[in-house]
Chains A and B, each alone.
Chain A
Amino acid sequence: MAKSSEALRNPAQAGREFSAAAVKLAVLPPAHRLSLRAPESSVSALSKALGLALPNRPKTSAAKGSRMALWLGPDEWLVIDDGAKDPLEACSKVPALHSAVGISHRNVAFSVVGIDAANAINAGCPQDLSLDAFPVGACSRTILGKVEIVLLRTAEDQFRVECWRSFSDYVFTFLTEAARDAAA
């Protein structure tokens, strides 16, 4: 009898990487992800449960330990934790009104590192990624080519690109071409 339950599963795009002269692309390891929506009155209780202050300004993020919270909208955050603790559990104990949806498997994350990282992303992303407009820690939901991404600047020359899993092949291929062009 076929043992279909023992089928080998690889995370999407696992192990893919690319390096051009001034840009390096890599797939980031799987992480816990949480789509969090809450009214202003619940923010302090959720911040306490998650162990970090949810940012309330546009385009900002907060990080503590392995956990990050990215402002996406006035009542919407993306919480990422690549440690062992699932932020969903922390939120489940909060009685205040909120919606927390686990989207760990919905997204795939890439790192774009190098002095031309911003140029490579700008090949498909129309936002101003200069350090004045998009400083370290800035994050935004935006577009890359024809798909939606969430972009986070983790260092001056380092970005984290989050995209939907089914778009991940497109995003990685797009960034590969863009990295090649940025180097040329």
Chain B
Amino acid sequence: MLLIRCPYCEEERPELEFRNAGEAHVVRSSDMASISDEDFEKFFFIRNNPKGVIFERWRHVHGCARFFNAARDTVTDKFIVTYKAGMPKPDLDKITDAPSAVAATEPPAKKKPARRAPAKKKDA
């Protein structure tokens, strides 16, 4: 069983207490009525599905019930870091305890710049 660190409970808890809540750092436009259909589609439907590190929202639903964000490696299922909702995206290069997990994901990210680009625009 995976252990996931909840930033609000400040300890690692079993995965059964958690629920995935989709991609993190998807920013809703402050002027929803005026954005184009293409931009709305990107905001509403288009999600990253990388082989490697993904930023996700998770909810400690059977614990403190709070949403938080996590960087997870989709290949190894390793949680690189978890942080409170509303905090900026952490710089994964500075997180030293998982250099291999981060490095392993870089080649596929470079191969598909077109797919990564819209996600970067949306980053909070």
Stretch at the interface among A40-48, A68-76, A112-120: A68-76
Are B8 and A58 within 8 A (Cβ)? yes
Are B64 and A58 within 8 A (Cβ)? yes
- Tell me whether chain A's interface is mostly helix, strand or loop, or mixed: strand
Stretch at the interface among A24-32, A80-88, A141-149, A167-175: A141-149
Scan A140-170; emit 1 where CB is below 8 A from any B CB, else 0: 1111000010000000000000000000000
In whole angstroms, what is the CA distance A119 to B7 when docked?
27
Q: Which residues of B come within 8 Å of A, CB atoms?
A: 1, 8-11, 13-14, 16-17, 62-66
Q: Which residues of A come within 8 Å of B, CB atoms?
A: 58-59, 72-74, 76, 126-127, 140-143, 148
In whole angstroms, what is the CA distance A142 to B63 when docked?
5
Closest CB in chain A relative to B9 CB, distance in Å: 4
19 further A-B pairs in the complex, CB-CB below 8 A; given A73-B8, A76-B64, A143-B62? A58-B8, A58-B11, A59-B9, A59-B11, A72-B64, A72-B65, A73-B63, A73-B64, A73-B65, A126-B14, A127-B13, A127-B14, A140-B63, A141-B62, A141-B63, A141-B64, A141-B65, A142-B63, A148-B62
Contacts of B64 in A (CB 8 A): 58, 72-74, 76, 141
Are B16 and A73 within 8 A (Cβ)? no
Contacts of B66 in A (CB 8 A): 73-74
B10 to A, closest residue via Cβ: A58
Contacts of B13 in A (CB 8 A): 127
Partner among A58, A76, A142 whose Cβ is within 8 Å of the Cβ of B62: A142
In whole angstroms, what is the CA distance A157 to B124 when docked?
48
